[in-house]
Amino acid sequence: RMEIDVVGIRLGVAILIDCKHWKRYSMSSLSSVVKKQIERTRQYVAKTEGAIAVPVIVTLYQDKVDFIENVPIVPIFQFSSFVDEFYGNIDQMKTIEKD
């Protein structure tokens, strides 16, 4: 069973968000979270007709990293601007579609 915290869909693209409220996290733990979110996104796309989806990690705190494996790491206070600029920056993000 896979759990996705938030799914938002607009203009045919789903944003699949995993919310993390850790105070401190290592690059390896964040990397592991990203890999799991990519897998959840793949499963969502496989089960959803015509889906195109982008995995995203939202954190409480800002870190030095913006992307891991082209998956955006977004501090909650920047989430609104991330959504506003999403479609202008989608080419920099990992996008998953059915093969």
* CATH code matching the domain that covers 6-97, chosen among 3.40.50, 2.130.10, 3.30.70, 2.60.40: 3.30.70
Q: How far is the C-alpha of 31 from the C-alpha of 40, rounded, in Å?
A: 14
- Are 86 and 95 in contact, with CB atoms under 8 Å apart? no
The pLDDT mean for the chain works out to 93
Please report which confidence band the pLDDT of residue 1 belongs to, taking 50, 70 and 90 as the band edges.
Answer: confident
Domain limits, the chain: 6-97
Which of 51, 48, 68 minimizes the C-alpha distance to 59? 68
pLDDT at 54: 98
Entry pTM: 0.93
Query: What digits encode the pLDDT tens for the residues 67-93?
Result: 999 999 999 999 999 999 999 999 999
Query: What digits encode the pLDDT tens for the residues 10-40?
Result: 999 999 999 998 877 788 999 999 999 999 9
Rg of the chain (C-alpha set): 13
Angle 91-50-98 (CA atoms, 0-180°, nearest 5)? 65
